[in-house]
Structure 1
């Protein structure tokens, strides 16, 4: 296999406009992936898994209000930024992909999928990709895979995407990845996975570009771990909403959001702590004391944290009330 990889990389340019390939700088990710768009929210996503280290650094690309790209097999990473730039100019996914494939001397070894913000989708699988290798496009999605154990993987992915149409996009993509693995997955096994979700509207604020950006670089069960991280992500979305509510002075909203996060991870002390802060700020001091005491029993650092909050305006309690909580 190593000889095959070195030979193929020697033939394939690392970047689309390269004249000569450098095998030492080549990258590959034999894998399965999905690019997809939610027709209701307009969000777009890429989900991927591979038996290769840190697949999230190579395969998934996305830009809010523009589109998403999955570039795999013998990876030409330039398909990501160059494809997004073309789609940002209003060029549909199909035309953008065709332009880049046409000038790629290593196209026979590539597998790539583009999806634009209008739902246009296009995929390409070079005839030198290792079997089982194919792509399947549908309305607002494309699934693609190479070096799979069986020829059932790609159809199983497409079927899962349709079946879980009522799920939020990120969770729907997770079901697709799980279906791929159940159908056989990568013939070599599993190692890393990634999930990105971008919004429907263009933004000039880079930090707002990706709504979800999760990576599992090296794990014996990467899809399972990615799904766990997505659950954590959802819980912290509630935490972030709670923080925003605190900033806006909406204590009741903060209490609801922190409570929702705590229900998802009942053993997380931070989630309990901020819920208790919201309770104290809303006049539920006695109820908050009970929660604080349980937190302090686990970790006394939270007691010191509590005492620092009034100066920042995050806790509206008098020094005497603070002492009644800390028992100092």
Structure 2
């Protein structure tokens, strides 16, 4: 779990069904909590309330654990939006169990193949450039490559919150993906994220744009073949072409990527081209 001062998030993998339903809890502008080993999700709710009241992560975790009679069986990590982090590994957690706390993050695990899992995760998180979601995914992949859960693989999840960073700016859910049962859950989680990113995240390279006027004929031909455009293929991006393009984009769940100017995102245009090829439409692109 980690924060960059804007986003808060958690990435997790385990030999456990639907680990994303149990371990991660977070609140935008407040922090994130991961409760595992013999997880107690109630700790997450309590700790988040304590963080919101102004306590730091150490005090919030200590206060919550004092109310848990089985705390020696727990493993809990906490990070606040302010960047402070802490973690706790109970004495009865199954070996190998441990944690690493760094600036703005905490890495923890139990029933691991060894301490190298945590060390690789921490190193990956610290060295990866990009947004918090990229750092969390790299850390999770590094831990998986280092051996991860010594019982094997089953599920993985990632949750990242950003104020108004979700769908159309109407939620705080920037990324929320789960792989509940899969032979290679971390790889599958990354595959799902690539779809989520393409469809929902507005973080394209600002230079990766294409002038509508330069591809009007191609887009008209494709949209005509797909049944969205009924006009002539004349090469002018007119109102009918714009409406047809928006209708296609909405059906493909790209409403988050529609631009109200003279350009198309390169990622969306490439998707349209690939969709035309997949459908067997003859185009000159």
Contact map agreement 2:23 2:41 (CA 8 A) in 1:
yes
Q: Equivalents in 1 of 2:110, 2:187: separation in Å?
A: 21
> Cα gap change, 1:135/1:284 in structure 2, threshold over 3 Å: closer, same or farther?
closer
RMSD of aligned C-alpha atoms?
Answer: 3.0
Q: How does 1:271-282 map to 2 (within 5 A)?
A: 279=212
**1:292 paired residue number:** 223
Q: Equivalents in 1 of 2:127, 2:14: separation in Å?
A: 23
1:138 corresponds to 2:102: yes
- 1:151-182 CA-partner distances (Å, limit 9, x unpaired): 31111111111221x22211111111111112
Q: 1:230 aligns with which of 193, 203, 223?
A: 193
**1:170 paired residue number:** 133
Consecutive unaligned residues in structure 2, runs of 5 or more: 231-237, 246-285
- 1:246-290 CA-partner distances (Å, limit 9, x unpaired): xxxxxxx9x94xx7xxxxxxxxxxxxxxxxxx94xx696423223
Contact map agreement 1:117 1:200 (CA 8 A) in 2:
no
1:76 corresponds to 2:40: yes
**1:11 paired residue number:** none
Consecutive unaligned residues in structure 1, runs of 5 or more: 1-34, 243-252, 260-277, 297-301, 308-314, 323-328
Q: Tell me, what secondary structure is at the counterpart of 1:75?
A: coil
**Alpha-carbon shift at residue 212 of structure 1 (Å):** 0.8
- 1:6-52 CA-partner distances (Å, limit 9, x unpaired): xxxxxxxxxxxxxxxxxxxxxxxxxxxxx11125xx21110000011
1:37 corresponds to 2:6: no
- 1:70-91 CA-partner distances (Å, limit 9, x unpaired): 1100010101222111111121
- The structure with the greater share of residues assigned to helix is 1
Q: Tell me, what secondary structure is at the counterpart of 1:197?
A: strand
Q: How does 1:1-328 map to 2 (within 5 A)?
A: 35-39=1-5, 42-164=6-128, 166-199=129-162, 208-237=171-200, 256=209, 279=212, 285-293=216-224, 296=225, 302-303=226-227, 305-306=228-229, 316-317=239-240
Q: Equivalents in 1 of 2:158, 2:190: separation in Å?
A: 10
Q: Equivalents in 1 of 2:215, 2:139: separation in Å?
A: 44
**2:263 paired residue number:** none
User: Max radius of gyration: which structure?
Assistant: 1
> Cα gap change, 1:120/1:241 in structure 2, threshold over 3 Å: closer, same or farther?
closer
| Count of residues in Structure 1 that have an aligned counterpart in Structure 2 | 233
Q: Equivalents in 1 of 2:221, 2:203: separation in Å?
A: 24
What TM-score, normalized by structure 2, do the two folds share?
0.74
Q: Equivalents in 2 of 1:159, 1:286: separation in Å?
A: 49
Q: Which of structure 1's runs of 4+ aligned residues deviate more than 3 A?
A: 200-203, 282-285
What TM-score, normalized by structure 1, do the two folds share?
0.64
Q: Equivalents in 1 of 2:157, 2:192: separation in Å?
A: 10
Q: Equivalents in 1 of 2:18, 2:163: separation in Å?
A: 27
> Cα gap change, 1:241/1:306 in structure 2, threshold over 3 Å: closer, same or farther?
farther
